């Protein structure tokens, strides 16, 4: 019968299951200031926008992209102005 052997990387104690507390481990932890959780990463959205999939003409899209960063916001502004004109009719 073949005996199963547990392979442990050298230098580790197989009886010790606690992780090593390194600076990296602490850096990934939650950050509290005055009892308030400080969120990391991208801030939450305002909730006033909705993610949609939209097909646009290549020419129209190229014109907006050529105006540089913020082109998506400019498309949004253009659509809002157009929607207001339509609603006023």
Write out pLDDT tens, residues 7-64. Answer: 655 666 777 777 788 888 887 888 888 988 887 777 777 778 888 999 999 999 999 9
Can you give the pTM of this predicted structure?
Answer: 0.50
CA–CA separation, 73 and 84 (whole Å): 17
Q: How many CA atoms lie within 13 A of 18 on its CB side?
A: 3
Q: Is the pLDDT of residue 70 over 90?
A: yes
- Counting every residue, how long is the chain? 89
Give pLDDT, residue 83.
96
Q: At what angle do helices 71-88 and 58-65 cross, to 10 degrees?
A: 120
């Amino acid at each position: 019968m073949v005996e199963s052997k547990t392979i442990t990387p050298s230098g580790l104690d197989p009886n010790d299951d606690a992780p090593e507390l390194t600076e990296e481990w602490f850096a990934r932890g939650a950050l509290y200031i005055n009892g308030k959780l400080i969120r990391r990463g991208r801030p939450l959205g305002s909730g006033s926008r909705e993610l949609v999939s939209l097909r646009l003409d290549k020419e129209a899209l190229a014109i907006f992209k050529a105006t540089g960063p913020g082109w998506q916001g400019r498309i949004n502004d253009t659509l809002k102005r157009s929607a207001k004109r339509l609603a006023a009719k």
